[in-house]
Amino acid sequence: MKNKVSTSVILDSRRQLKDGTYPVKLRVTFQRKQKYYPVINDKGEPFAFTESDYDKVRDPKARGSYKEDALSLNSIEKRATDAIEKLPVFSFETFEKRFLSGNSKHDVFGAFRRQIDLLKDEGRAGTASSYECAYRSLSDFASSKTLLFSDVSVDFLKKYEKWMVESGKSLTTVGMYLRALRAIYNDAIASGDAYSELYPFGKREYQIPAGQNIKKALVIDDIEKIFSYEPAHDGEAKARDLFIFSYLCNGINIKDIARLKYSNINGGQITFIRAKTERTSRQNLKPVVVVLTDEAQKIIDRWGIKPKSSDGYVFPILTKGLTPEEELAKVRYATKAINKYIKRIALAVGIDSNVSTYTARHSYSTILKRSGVSIEYISESLGHNNLKTTESYLDSFEDDVKRQYAAHLTAFTKKK
């Protein structure tokens, strides 16, 4: 075959769907690299079968609906082969633009499903999960199996936003779902599946609402209360220590704590690449460098896996050989456990706010700001690529500081 590219339609038994079926994928192999693409029917729905049904579809003597499915799969495989033959030089990117544009062309839901499958195949389980939530929400609102890009108008988006808010979704969630939809729309324009002149997003069109910036940072006195708390059991002790570890180590989040290896620790420092940016900022990856304080080292000594191995994890959250979905599940479980106990600890020490693992990151940046540290340094220590992102993390001043400032306005009354 031209360019030594091979294609085959297979039943992807690596990941079973909730209904017990498996998705059908087009597998493309080039220079020992394989990529899998969803196979979509004429209704814009992905093909999926049980193993026994798939055997019947692929049987040369298939009859009835099995034969119809077989003809459809053969047609799709031939279309993929034809697309490859027409490429002067093969690359997965050029193939995707040519082949995927024929799958449910102009259909938003089909585009969502393809993107979700690609994200899963790339190991980006967290992003795939976020897109799945957005897809299900949009599907529930539209109440149809297909949704054309041309139907996604400014009026449609306003009604969708209103529907989500009335359904109890926060503005943060609304923004997350709509940014996923916008990304899908942008990709569709780039591949020719949507018309740029109908693009509904923008300053003069529909603008995605920004989530409310709720105060999440603690004051230094509250951090001290958590630091000094005497845990009632190991569950509380571990939650407190990992919360403090996050705070002391540049606000590192739980996923990055879970992925830390002893090889990341050297010369009294921890150096790592944030999981959140390792794929989205490949051209400008910024390692986060943490000064390993005595307190942080004690936490590693208490909870770190022993014996130490340079390629081994520091904390007992992840294990080797996990799939992206399994890793995501373990990180979420650890985060849930820490949040459960840290909320109890906060209540016990008299902290009147909703404390979570995310609070440690915001507290780290905000307390540094209030101590006079430059935003440039805070931005670098957080692993941000621009100052605007950092500024969104920096909380407003404490209420007691505001009262002190307000007191200046009426200081003259004290002289009487």
pLDDT for res 255: 94
Residue 189: its pLDDT value, please?
86
How far is it, in rounded angstroms, from Cα 118 to Cα 176? 19
- Please give the pLDDT value at position 86: 80
Cα–Cα distance measured from residue 265 to residue 15, given in angstroms and rounded to the nearest whole number: 35
The per-residue pLDDT for 2 is 46
The DSSP 8-state label assigned to residue 10 in this structure reads E
Neighbouring C-beta atoms of residue 281, cutoff 10 Å: 15
Domain ranges of the chain: 1-103, 123-211, 220-402
320 vs 339: CA distance, rounded Å:
25
Q: How far apart are the first and last CA of the chain?
A: 95
At 340-396, the pLDDT tens digits run: 999 999 999 999 888 999 999 889 888 888 888 888 888 888 887 777 777 766 655
The yes or no reply on domain 220-402 and CATH 1.10.443.10 is yes
Per-residue model confidence (pLDDT) at position 272: 92
